[in-house]
Structure 1
């Protein structure tokens, strides 16, 4: 497809700033920026990047907590035709170094306190340009100084792009191993934004406000694109800590109409007594995704918040665009006319199939792999033909999740083909954790599984076996992981066994590990 088939995604901000220049675009603590102000700052950032040789196709790594600079860098990357590469800010320097290596990033925006991350990336020969927010050191460029010194570009300066040009590397491990860069494109993301506006939060205008409760690096960042497209204000929590009281205060102050959450966040919001002390009647669309929600928690949320819950199922690779369960499809009653236990039906313009091992479609009610196709599916994993071949078998994208459709087309997820579990809304891939544990000199073998956790949804338990002649303890394993893995990836419990349960083929089925843990009464 040629250039005339795609708009530069950054034009969403340009257009809104012209249409409603004085509307509030972004709120962070005491600070406010109108759309005209935000757009002007983004344009100056574009000029600062271009002046230092960063342009179309270059990858810009962003390691930052939520804040105006992170939001601005996203839009600037889009406008200059570069590729935004956001990280989870909790990652270690080594983990971020791996993302820099695999994306071959040329520039880095880093938040204060993350100079060690910049050092690790520079040492590996990447990101010659480092923009630092607030604590620039050595060769770092101070973020605000760079903007202040820039000459604003002329109007309509955005790079020309084609439909398939990359706009965002959305890092995901898919089903196994270390993170892979899912390539999101300008054309695909224009569809995703349009679909979000149609299916998740219809009717949003500049009179609406959206509260951000999760990192902008992932689903929350995707959610905000639709808000900017329609001129709604984006409200950030003032600190990185998730403060429920402050969240409800902001809902009342700004008349918040929509927010993106994961089930653990939504449950925390509903169970806190602040929910009864602030006016949240403005809420129209409280979206939850990323993990199944327990029915009891769902009912409690409906009782407290009213008919505003929206569930969706989606992966980074399909950028949140697989199913939707609308507010009117939720109920506190266990009425069979409602699709109870379902994560919804296919999003507008998307197709879902349950495929068996032969690749043929299965009948309603039969369980198989959830596969999807349509304009929201990503362009593939960056420089990873092996993963692409596996993911795109038979003209479908294979999610790695298992489930079934009913006769009406409502999807129910029954399990994961992979062993991934979701802790506090973040995907944890046991293989990565197991590989880190196995670097301990006293560990012979190990298996990591997710078990239900009352606060985090699921948390990890590691079962380890010591090498002959060695001893290993829970404390030793956890200490060993401290420098190797982000906190959310570390198991909360470690048990030491004489041997791991094995199948007749010598494999270690995770189901058998979970069964034994339950038999021994190990859990949370």
Structure 2
């Protein structure tokens, strides 16, 4: 009789070293010291120069006692010093906690209260935000300033450094980034992203989103580096691709397309609302965009009509991915070659792609049982890109996971080939007269109307039906809408019970600082307009 196998011990290997994210910069600076790293207006710095700037900031942070595991809140628009701060924070083993600079001071204070930063780094143009964060977070190392004139107020950016700064050793599970949720459905949370998890994310981005990226490539930044654009920066650093920072304070399509031509930009990260503006801008035809290989968009589902217009304007360069901050953008990918993929019968909108490499998707019923192909349920995810949990929020963690799966809160279905279709947020669904109504289906149809450029459908309280649909519309310039004609047009395309009971025309639809349509904000505005009951009709 053969001997019984040995019983495995509880610990098969010692605690593992992880790779500090600052090592991405260190390796590229050694390999490509004289290649351009960042371009911002007339300023052009090499990888060696960026690494030296990071050393200077890291030395200043260490001198103030900032080190392993210390959160550092950063409030800044896109600029070289933000990138410098990011890698300096990692170099000393601290945790990068960037806010969206468009937040109001009380919102910044809320985030500081949540993470209790050891230091706050703030652009000089936002003193009220620094004061709010300092009061709420009580950082022991105080406020550090960036931006014009900041050298007189802080030693953080002084060059050259006294000596090279080593990358602090980190272990598996060590916190790297507190990725703040947008707070569109309530109080913001901090998703904990770790060094080892982010190492997988960078590798996955290079594998699935940006194959063959190299030092010959360049990206232009069109979204805040505090969120998805910051994640997208990391594979550029890993491969030595140049990053171009626009000078305009807000999105300027003419500047973006000019930079694509002059800097031979090959890739960019956007969200659907930004991509829509860029693709529909007249400057699209005025500049040479032939260098573009990957125009990546994520952050929210893109309506099929908008997707088709962008593809027609830019060619087969669109790359869609679906991924929440909690999964760091790593759920699905739809590469350029699959943007024309056939949509199965009965599905009203396009797919957001197939599972990313190393990621598993499960569409589940409320009891956790997996749905079959074509059956709608909640999208759940497993894999190395899933975050470690929410900081200091056990209740949220318990609600976010079930049997090891991360519950996205999004509704969707998969087809026979495993491609995913996001049908909407579970929180967006409303019940009218006992029937479940999913806004995205209606929004997709309304965007096919030639006069409509943007739309959001929300459920609003109603004494008779419980809730009714209200469609908020933005029309193309000079276009008029007749409500009776619009209703008749929509009746031909969706069941009568799904047709919104009211149509409201606005000049613009409110969006978050990350370019997402914020339905909670829309509901609040409609309620202020007498509960939408007396709101203007689409005919004005």
Normalised-by-shorter TM-score class: 0.7 to 0.9
Aligned partner of 1:36 in structure 2 is 48
Aligned partner of 2:118 in structure 1 is 106
1-side partners of 2:185 and 2:404: how far apart?
21
Q: Does 1:69 align with 2:78?
A: no
Partner of residue 121 from structure 1, selected from 119, 126, 133:
133
Give the 3-state SS of the residue equivalent to 1:146 in structure 2.
coil
Runs of at least 5 residues in structure 1 that lack an aligned partner in the other structure: 423-427, 431-445, 456-485, 501-512
Greater mean deviation of Cα atoms: 126-135 or 407-416 = 126-135
**How far 1:178 moved relative to its partner?**
0.3
Greater mean deviation of Cα atoms: 261-270 or 7-16 = 261-270
**How far 1:257 moved relative to its partner?**
0.5
**How far 1:340 moved relative to its partner?**
5.9
Aligned partner of 1:415 in structure 2 is 424
Normalized against structure 1, the TM-score is what? Answer: 0.80
Q: Give the 3 Å change call, closer, same or farther, for CA 100–313 of structure 1 in structure 2.
A: same
Q: Does 1:389 align with 2:398?
A: yes
Aligned partner of 2:289 in structure 1 is 280
Query: What is the 5 A alignment of 1:473-488?
Result: none
Q: Give the 3 Å change call, closer, same or farther, for CA 366–494 of structure 1 in structure 2.
A: closer
1:188-211 per-position Cα deviation (integer Å, ceiling 9, x unaligned): 000000000000011000000001
Aligned partner of 1:267 in structure 2 is 276
1-side partners of 2:177 and 2:112: how far apart?
14
Give the 3-state SS of the residue equivalent to 2:164 in structure 1.
coil
**How far 1:2 moved relative to its partner?**
5.1
- Does the CA contact (< 8 Å) of 1:111 and 1:134 recur in 2? yes
- Does the CA contact (< 8 Å) of 2:110 and 2:136 recur in 1? no
Partner of residue 142 from structure 1, selected from 130, 142, 153:
153
2-side partners of 1:221 and 1:357: how far apart?
34
Rg (Cα) greater in structure:
2
Q: Give the 3 Å change call, closer, same or farther, for CA 79–3 of structure 1 in structure 2.
A: farther
Q: Give the 3 Å change call, closer, same or farther, for CA 2–280 of structure 1 in structure 2.
A: farther
**How far 1:332 moved relative to its partner?**
9.2
Q: Give the 3 Å change call, closer, same or farther, for CA 294–146 of structure 1 in structure 2.
A: closer
- Does the CA contact (< 8 Å) of 2:400 and 2:406 recur in 1? yes
Aligned partner of 1:131 in structure 2 is 144
Runs of at least 5 residues in structure 2 that lack an aligned partner in the other structure: 1-12, 430-438, 441-455, 459-466, 477-515
- Does the CA contact (< 8 Å) of 2:272 and 2:301 recur in 1? yes
Q: Does 1:242 align with 2:251?
A: yes
Aligned partner of 1:294 in structure 2 is 303
- Residues matched between the structures, number: 454
- Does the CA contact (< 8 Å) of 2:303 and 2:349 recur in 1? no
Partner of residue 154 from structure 1, selected from 164, 173, 177:
164
1-side partners of 2:379 and 2:539: how far apart?
29
2-side partners of 1:167 and 1:453: how far apart?
40
1-side partners of 2:348 and 2:319: how far apart?
13
Give the 3-state SS of the residue equivalent to 1:238 in structure 2.
coil
Give the 3-state SS of the residue equivalent to 1:398 in structure 2.
strand
RMSD: 3.3
